[in-house]
Structure 1
Amino acid sequence: MLRRDRRRFACHVRQIAMYVCHVALRVSLSDIGDAFGRDRTTVGHACHVVEDRRDDPAFDDFVATVERLVTTVFGLVEVPAHD
């Protein structure tokens, strides 16, 4: 059970990382897939999963914070607030 929970957690973290790379850093799905060792369709699915979960205010705040940190570190233009 613990092993499955760790795997699920790692999957969620990877999905968020892929989403932030695409949305905040404007990296293509193909390039993200190459970097993560996944197919571009898997990256697209991850982005959709994260976007769907942003209806939860706590999750949305977390992802928005990650986006702000990434854009600050990489010196990119601020990502507009999610509605």
Structure 2
Amino acid sequence: MTAMASDRPLWRRDSRRSTCHVRQIAMYVCHVVLRLSQADIGVAFGRDRTTVGHACNRVEDRRDDVAFDAFVSAVERVVLSVFGPAGIGSHE
């Protein structure tokens, strides 16, 4: 999805930054859409819960940008279509 959303080629120096931004969006979606705890997300990503909190704050701050907000909203819709609303259904 990130490759399709980009309007410019990905340069080598941008690769690390892009990976970081993608991870931040993934952490944000896990917390906001899937309602996972920051501690659980941190474990899953091999990061500390404070890093997850920072990622969520960064994504929230960037959502003022209309294009970024549209992209994150699209990711949220995809996650919801795959996993359904958080807390719905039975887990056996």
**Shared fold, TM over 0.5:** yes
Task: Tell me which of 18, 24, 39 is aligned to 2:27.
Answer: 18
CA distance, structure 2, for counterparts of residue 62 and residue 53 of structure 1: 11
Query: Which residues of structure 2 form unaligned runs of 5+?
Result: 1-10, 87-92
Describe the superposition over 1:2-60 as per-residue Cα deviations: whole angstroms up to 9, x where unpaired.
44310000000000000000000000000000000000000000000000000000000
Greater fraction helix: 1
Dislocated runs of 4+, deviation >3 Å = none
User: Any idea what SS the aligned residue of 2:42 has?
Assistant: helix
Backbone CA RMSD of aligned residues: 1.1
Structure 1 length as normaliser, TM-score? 0.87
Task: Provide the identity percentage.
Answer: 74
- Are 1:38 and 2:30 an aligned pair? no
Residue in 1 aligned with 2:90?
none
User: Any idea what SS the aligned residue of 2:74 has?
Assistant: helix
